Chains A and B, each alone.
Chain A
């Protein structure tokens, strides 16, 4: 058990995030509703904003895929993904709070748990990337002002 927990810690601290990011971004692009539905579909079900939310996710995922070789720019897109995730979660939570006839349902607990895990995932990826970018910046040789 101790070895397993130690392995979990090692995975989180030492392992790289790039393969996960690559597969996630590819899956996210192909799973994006913008590719499979159009604005009229979302307007009909009364959620036109959701279409634009998906559009933003698509742009960010494509941004991640196109800047995977540049850690600082890719980190910026990951940060935007994290912000979008926080935005959706807060909107969902506040929506639930303001719902006058809300009843306890397991599906809400499930949704919040999954969202929290995703939040941890994106925070971990962002921290890793930002740490890499900061260390790269700090350890880069200083430019000589005299040229």
Chain B
């Protein structure tokens, strides 16, 4: 084997090893970045899921409150009518009492 061939083989070996090492390193860097991106995405998704759950719970609470408010409005209207009648009755009773005196 002549010197030129030996030099060529050595150069090829060095090139091959450096190339393989370089690509492995680059792959590791890309993998790390991808993992980081995935982690951030998972965090965002977890936050979104939590928000969805909270909105659902608040919607349920709102429904319950609306029902209660509706009942209260009805009761309030009933009481108002009753008070009006009582006030009128009271006026009549007052007049009756004055006439008797």
Contacts and interface: CB of A to CB of B under 8 A. Distances in A.
Interface in B13-42: 15-16, 19, 23, 26-27, 30-31, 34
B5 interface: yes
B19 A87 contact: no
Task: Categorize the interface residue count of chain A.
Answer: 10 to 19
Interface SS, B side: helix
A83 B15 contact: yes
Contacts, number: 43
28 contacts: A83-B12, A83-B15, A83-B16, A86-B8, A86-B11, A86-B12, A86-B15, A87-B8, A87-B9, A87-B11, A88-B8, A90-B7, A90-B8, A90-B11, A90-B12, A91-B4, A91-B5, A91-B7, A92-B4, A94-B3, A94-B7, A95-B4, A130-B23, A134-B23, A134-B26, A134-B27, A138-B31, A139-B34
Contact of A135 (B8, B9, B16, B30): B30
Interface of A: 79, 83, 86-88, 90-92, 94-95, 98, 130, 134-135, 137-139
